[in-house]
């Protein structure tokens, strides 16, 4: 087969198979996820967070299959590959990876919830199994005392199971010392402070909230390099 014909054949095949791949693994907003899940009578709903996270609240009828567990693939192999699978985690990172693993394992329809349980919960949607006792976190009064400072205040909302959060922690610690006297940098762990995080409207972590004179100036999400932190702080000093 001539080279040009062979290349055309390869490109045509790729274009024909691409829509199928996109259909097999699709990301939905919380609203789309809720509506589509309600319509699907044979859906398999997976919460791929840890058992501890699951125990603090989850979507109704969700089965807990921890993505970080060594037997994750063994567990999903027991599911029906011909039925749609809806998957979510806390903010979207683990569920995206889990959705890919499900697709690679032969599942025909995989739907990943964008924003995860954090977005779902802060939107006021129904959950079940929440542990009301929980760990008492920071109160709104305590938080307001922190941000009502003459200094610029940067709040880092993080979690120990969040890879970008862990990766940035040395930088945050370094800047806490370097900017002491000029700015206040505080870290707030997500897990014991779910109520406060919800009140702050944080729907994704890592999250960085910059306050000046008690008012929110900037909100950032995701991984940031050291130079980005510096630019963020220096712009308000």
Catalytic residue positions?
162, 165
Cα 94–Cα 64–Cα 69 angle in degrees, nearest 5:
55
* E strand spans, 53-204: 63-64, 85-88, 110-113, 152-158, 183-189
What is the four-CA torsion angle of 163, 100, 35, 63, rounded to 10 degrees?
Answer: -70
CA distance 204 to 168: 16
CA distance 167 to 104: 28
> How would you list the strands of the sheet with 44-47, edge to edge?
25-28, 110-113, 85-88, 44-47, 63-64
- With H, G, I as helix, E, B as strand and everything else as coil, classify residue 187: strand
């Amino acid at each position: 087969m001539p080279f040009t014909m062979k290349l055309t054949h390869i490109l045509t095949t790729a274009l024909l198979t691409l829509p199928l791949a996109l259909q097999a693994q699709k990301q939905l907003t919380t609203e789309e996820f809720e509506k589509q899940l309600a319509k699907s009578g044979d859906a398999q709903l997976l919460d791929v967070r840890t058992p501890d996270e699951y125990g603090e609240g989850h979507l109704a009828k969700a089965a807990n299959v921890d993505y970080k567990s060594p037997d994750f693939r063994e567990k999903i192999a027991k599911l029906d590959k011909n039925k749609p699978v809806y998957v979510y985690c806390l903010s979207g990172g683990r569920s995206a990876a889990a959705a890919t693993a499900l697709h690679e394992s032969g599942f025909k329809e995989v739907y990943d919830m964008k924003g995860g349980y954090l977005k779902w919960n802060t939107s006021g949607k129904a959950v079940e199994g929440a542990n009301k006792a929980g760990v008492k976190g920071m109160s709104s009064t305590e938080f307001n005392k922190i941000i009502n400072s003459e200094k610029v205040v940067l709040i880092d909302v993080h979690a120990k199971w969040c890879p970008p959060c862990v990766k940035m922690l040395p930088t945050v610690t370094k800047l806490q010392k370097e900017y002491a006297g000029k700015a206040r940098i505080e870290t707030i762990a997500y897990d014991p402070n779910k109520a406060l995080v919800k009140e702050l409207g944080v729907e994704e972590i890592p999250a960085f909230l910059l306050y000046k004179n008690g008012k929110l100036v900037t909100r950032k999400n995701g991984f940031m390099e050291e130079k980005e932190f510096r630019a963020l702080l220096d712009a308000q000093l």
